[in-house]
Structure 1
Amino acid sequence: MPKDVEILMEPYGDELSAAAERWTTGLRSSDLVREKLGSADAEAVQVHGPAMPLRRRDTVEPLHAVLFDPAQNRSVEVRGELDGAIEVRSSDFRPNPTTAELQEALAVLRKDERFAPIQRRGQAVVYQPMPPLADVEQPDGTYTRRIALAIHEPRSLRPHQYVAVDLGSREVDWEAGHGLHPADGDCEAHLPVPVDSQQTDSGRDSVRVRVIRGGEELWNFVVVRPRASSPTHFGKGSGVELRYVRYRGRMVLWQAHVPILNVLYDDGVTYRDWQNQETPFQANGTEPVGPGWRVCTSPPATILEASDDSGNFQGVALHYDNGELRIVSELQAGWYRYISDWRLRDDGTIQPRFGFAGTKNPRTCMVHHHHAYWRFDFDIEGAGNDVVEQFGWWLGHRPVWWRISRETSRKRSGSIDRWRVRDAGTGRGYSITPGLADGTADSYGVSDLWFLRYRGTELDDGVGVVGGGPADTRCRLNAFLTGESIARTDVVVWYAGHFHHDEHHPSPSQGHIVGPELRPVNW
């Protein structure tokens, strides 16, 4: 790092976090919640959320949380005001297993007599597969929640076996994976890390970061690590989240993250993946605010750069080199590995990046299509006075910028290839240029960009499932297109990157990275 550059990291906690904790405590003891959940152990109930609006508004936006009782496999959704009335209704939401549940399921598996010969051979790795749950419906219409585990034996004729563990009965179903995946062979090159290698949660959820060069502050922003990223009410998160991003003292982004991530296989299997499960990668350096945050002395190496799926660090790593600050974390969703990455340059350029990889499994050698959806809540020099403009060729021969006045969506094309958000008063802004590898949406991807008026209730599109058909997991951002004016308003831009993953044609698909470039205008 150059001598005249400082990367300062300090603890960060705001009143929103304290308010969310207070609301969560109140929900656990609420009579309305108890009425819906019945005889639940309040301490054992999982609280997902609440989704807290980051802005102060004249109009009160309802909070949203989901409470889940693992003992009864029952959920309720709660909406209401922080210090006011709440509405509670039953929900069919079943959250992904926690780290503690995965390790408990592994302990149950190890005690099963059918696992003993596998254990004696000493080659097996027990990892988390897709989908993460293998629930079964009972005759009365209720579901038994079961944790899915996969057993990988590299030298076996059947290298992948799938089991379902019922933590209530302590039973293992060895037929749970019958017909689940079409092949028994290995896809991908990396051996997955075992379930019991995942670290328990420790350290802070968020920090403030400042980049100072030659005594001048270039960047000032808050980073939220994936495990605490919003939205939280369906337990999916959004990778590394940036908030309150300022460049040279002026506001650029109020919030930036990837709330929607899905995948469609050519045989029709789809998943809506989660981005709040951190997994180890290589990062060497110091931890100025404690575990989970590391300022690196050398470039961090995720699964895309390293030769395996292990590492010495879990959380968010920062590294500065050649005029650029990199902020990166590695995420796990079953056998998928995702790289949540931001690049902030000294000249004000922001490069959001999202990488795709995987560990050994029987599924990803089938052609499939990943879609990552960034949400950029622009506040150029403050909220409420931004405009959106689109660059293209007028009548096919003259390049012009023209104003987008109402909520709409766009697909990238040869004639429309750039957009910008500007403050209507000063003219300062940021342009959005697609990455060369970002592709164009198919029918499942829906679109490439959406330009919306800010709504605190639109942090995601409301999809809580992990698996299902294309209609279940497809992005639903079009529901937010209500024709409202976005001229001189608080503007939110959704941007989609699309990745075609074909193992049989690995270059340039393997280790693919997508993402646009955000560049300052008139700054």
Structure 2
Amino acid sequence: MTRQVIIEPVDRPRLSAEQVRQVAAAHPAVLAHLETADADRLVLGEALALTHDPDEGAPFRASVFDPVSNRGVELRGTLDRPEKAEVVPSAYRPNPDARELRAAAEILRADERFPAGDDVVVYQPMPPLADLENTDGTTVRRPTLGVYAPSGDVKHRIVAVDPVARTVDWSPAGVSVAMHPDHPDDCESRLPAPVESLRDRGGPDAVRLRVLDGGTELWNLIVVRPRASAPQNPGDGSGVELREVRYRGRLVFRQAHVPILNVQYEEDGVTFRDWQNEETRFTANGADPVGWGWRICDRSPKTILERPDNDAGNFQGVAFHDDDGEVRIVSEIAAGWYRYVSEWRLADDGTIRPRFGFAGVRNPRTCMRHRHHVYWRFDFDIEGSDNDVIEQLDETGPGTTTATQIVREVARRRRRPARFWQVTDKASGRGYRIVPGEHDNTADPYGIADLWFLRRRGTELYDGNPDEDNRAMLDRFVNGESVSGTNVVVWYAGHFRHDQNAPHPHQGHIVGPDLVPVT
């Protein structure tokens, strides 16, 4: 038999966005708190089950947000009886979705101050919102938009749009595009994609991937595309998410993804928490066996890291490519002017290579030195949950290491004598070794740490991001619980310094560890 890469759509226990809307519309506590009677204007997403092995009665949480009152609540209930859900006030404010951005762009283009010219591009910048606080304590939701006018006196502006009042603030407080004498020009050659150009063309949220070689099934897993990746509501996705990962029939991960992605600028201290659910275009050629958004490629896909100087392509979603004994799972995502490559590489020998790449489009901000911090979350279930062991392998001599079991939750840095870490099943001894990548670096004070070893809790999918500086708040999960013979989660951080004046070689724009089988 020939080698096969097979994808099939899958469904997951959930409430659809429309079902959540119906629950919210019929729940008097929701409408009372949001001070609205118009359920059609609410912003919400799907409600996914929280448990490891969900059934129809699994618990869920779902955020419901009203962009007019700029208020939100969280529904907490079970999938079989959503109408009984508890309603809890929420401080979570979702980023503007495509519909909201297109409406804001229409208001912006109608403004008398909008620059003339066919070469003007309206794009989504950072930060995504510039809300205005009123004296009475209420706030006005204002999506931001970038205006790129290459023939104008000012090439880039960031404005804030009030969709209710239909007004534009051309100098929103606290928002800067760093247009000053030290940074007069753009640092990227790629033009940003206009907000109107990126539209979701549908297709399944998730597929089951099977890799067979000579009739033997090597890999069997669920792949979730960025637009539907967890965490959502609250949370802003995690790039390409893997679930129920099995190698040669043995369970490896229950879930693997990147829930946290941060940027910090060295010169002025500005920070961002980037979203990872906005799929953007890259080049991928091949067939779409399950519909739009999923492509099996006949040649290697090209993201912004490989293609010519533009922010374009023929595909949005997740691409698969069988590359000489290793299947690549690739997507490109956008967050303002940043472009990220979310990738997983599954080798025939069982090695898993998570990878994350960094790039950007034309803007002055990336002229400034900044650091990216990417945080993978690996929910290991080696041959099943509740029986895993974590060990740290220290270098004790040339070519020799000594293993020490980690028995309590802890955060660690990648520094000698520590060389590797591994998670194994307590009974069989099988598992995976975490080998740090060559370009992963180690954390600065803003990055906090490099690894966290935790007992799995369904409520610890997202750090909540409560502080203004957006840093990863994973230390709040470290409370001394046992991780010996339990169900464990490992968070792994990669750190990349981006300096246009000291460019790295191409591979320097990609970080990620190797996860090597232990047999």
TM-score range, shorter chain: over 0.9
* Contact 2:412-2:452 within 8 A present in 1 as well: yes
* Contact 1:230-1:259 within 8 A present in 2 as well: yes
Rate the CA distance shift 1:458–1:178 in 2: closer, same or farther, 3 A: closer
Q: Please report how far the alpha carbon of residue 357 of structure 1 lies from its aligned counterpart in structure 2 after TM superposition.
A: 0.6
SS in structure 1 at match of 2:365: coil
Distance 2:227 2:89 in 1: 26
Distance 1:242 1:481 in 2: 24
Q: What TM-score do you get using the length of structure 2 for normalisation?
A: 0.93
SS in structure 2 at match of 1:251: strand
Q: Please report how far the alpha carbon of residue 153 of structure 1 lies from its aligned counterpart in structure 2 after TM superposition.
A: 2.0
Distance 1:177 1:203 in 2: 40
Deviations 1:211-255 (A, max 9, x none): 011111100000000000001122401000000000011111110
Distance 2:93 2:513 in 1: 34
Task: Give the corresponding residue for 1:276.
Answer: 277
Deviations 1:378-400 (A, max 9, x none): 11111111111111034999521
Task: Give the corresponding residue for 1:334.
Answer: 336
Rate the CA distance shift 1:78–1:17 in 2: closer, same or farther, 3 A: closer
SS in structure 2 at match of 1:36: helix
Distance 2:264 2:200 in 1: 31
Distance 1:292 1:336 in 2: 21
- Once the two structures are overlaid, the 10-residue window that deviates more, 236-245 or 146-155, is 146-155
Distance 2:464 2:438 in 1: 30
* Contact 2:94-2:233 within 8 A present in 1 as well: no
Q: What TM-score do you get using the length of structure 1 for normalisation?
A: 0.93
SS in structure 2 at match of 1:507: coil
SS in structure 2 at match of 1:364: helix
Aligned equivalent of 1:161, options 157, 174, 179: 157
Rate the CA distance shift 1:20–1:122 in 2: closer, same or farther, 3 A: closer
* Contact 1:161-1:177 within 8 A present in 2 as well: no
Q: Please report how far the alpha carbon of residue 321 of structure 1 lies from its aligned counterpart in structure 2 after TM superposition.
A: 1.2
Deviations 1:30-74 (A, max 9, x none): 12212211223112211245353141489x986332211122222
* Contact 1:126-1:150 within 8 A present in 2 as well: yes
* Contact 2:15-2:47 within 8 A present in 1 as well: no
Task: Give the corresponding residue for 1:391.
Answer: 393
Distance 1:374 1:17 in 2: 24
* Contact 1:501-1:510 within 8 A present in 2 as well: no
Distance 1:128 1:260 in 2: 20
* Contact 2:381-2:488 within 8 A present in 1 as well: yes
The aligned amino acid for 2:269 is G
Task: Give the corresponding residue for 2:300.
Answer: 299
2:322 is the counterpart of 1:343: no
SS in structure 2 at match of 1:301: coil
2:407 is the counterpart of 1:405: yes
Please give the residue correspondences for 1:243-322 in structure 2 after superposition, counting only pairs within 5 Å. Answer: 243-266=243-266, 267-307=268-308, 308-322=310-324
The aligned amino acid for 1:158 is V
2:108 is the counterpart of 1:101: no
Distance 1:153 1:72 in 2: 33
Distance 1:377 1:312 in 2: 33
2:65 is the counterpart of 1:63: no
Distance 2:224 2:412 in 1: 29
Rate the CA distance shift 1:405–1:21 in 2: closer, same or farther, 3 A: farther
Distance 2:429 2:507 in 1: 41
SS in structure 2 at match of 1:27: helix
Distance 2:434 2:228 in 1: 27
Task: Give the corresponding residue for 2:361.
Answer: 359
Rate the CA distance shift 1:22–1:171 in 2: closer, same or farther, 3 A: closer
Task: Give the corresponding residue for 2:9.
Answer: 11
Distance 1:421 1:175 in 2: 51
Q: How large is the Cα RMSD of the aligned pairs?
A: 2.2
The aligned amino acid for 1:514 is V
Deviations 1:85-128 (A, max 9, x none): 5432333332211111111111122222222xx33x22211111
Task: Give the corresponding residue for 2:139.
Answer: 143
* Contact 1:162-1:177 within 8 A present in 2 as well: no
Task: Give the corresponding residue for 2:475.
Answer: 478
2:428 is the counterpart of 1:429: no
- Once the two structures are overlaid, the 10-residue window that deviates more, 148-157 or 498-507, is 148-157
Deviations 1:278-326 (A, max 9, x none): 1111111110000110101111111111121101111111111111111
The aligned amino acid for 1:188 is E
2:197 is the counterpart of 1:197: yes
Rate the CA distance shift 1:199–1:511 in 2: closer, same or farther, 3 A: farther
* Contact 2:17-2:44 within 8 A present in 1 as well: no
Distance 2:24 2:185 in 1: 47
Task: Give the corresponding residue for 1:229.
Answer: 229
* Contact 2:24-2:39 within 8 A present in 1 as well: no
Gaps of 5+ in 2: none
Q: Please report how far the alpha carbon of residue 195 of structure 1 lies from its aligned counterpart in structure 2 after TM superposition.
A: 1.0
SS in structure 2 at match of 1:506: coil
Q: Please report how far the alpha carbon of residue 339 of structure 1 lies from its aligned counterpart in structure 2 after TM superposition.
A: 0.7
* Contact 1:9-1:209 within 8 A present in 2 as well: yes
Distance 1:296 1:396 in 2: 43
Aligned equivalent of 2:76, options 75, 79, 101: 79
* Contact 1:269-1:469 within 8 A present in 2 as well: no
Please give the residue correspondences for 1:460-475 in structure 2 after superposition, counting only pairs within 5 Å. Answer: 460-463=462-465, 469-470=468-469, 473-475=470-472
Rate the CA distance shift 1:344–1:54 in 2: closer, same or farther, 3 A: farther
Distance 1:333 1:27 in 2: 29
Task: Give the corresponding residue for 1:114.
Answer: 113
Q: Please report how far the alpha carbon of residue 353 of structure 1 lies from its aligned counterpart in structure 2 after TM superposition.
A: 0.3
* Contact 1:357-1:510 within 8 A present in 2 as well: no
- Once the two structures are overlaid, the 10-residue window that deviates more, 365-374 or 35-44, is 35-44
* Contact 1:317-1:329 within 8 A present in 2 as well: yes
Please give the residue correspondences for 1:372-387 in structure 2 after superposition, counting only pairs within 5 Å. Answer: 372-387=374-389
Distance 2:507 2:336 in 1: 18
* Contact 1:49-1:66 within 8 A present in 2 as well: no
Aligned equivalent of 1:369, options 368, 371, 376: 371
The aligned amino acid for 1:148 is T
Distance 2:360 2:351 in 1: 29
Please give the residue correspondences for 1:428-467 in structure 2 after superposition, counting only pairs within 5 Å. Answer: 428-463=430-465
* Contact 1:209-1:222 within 8 A present in 2 as well: yes
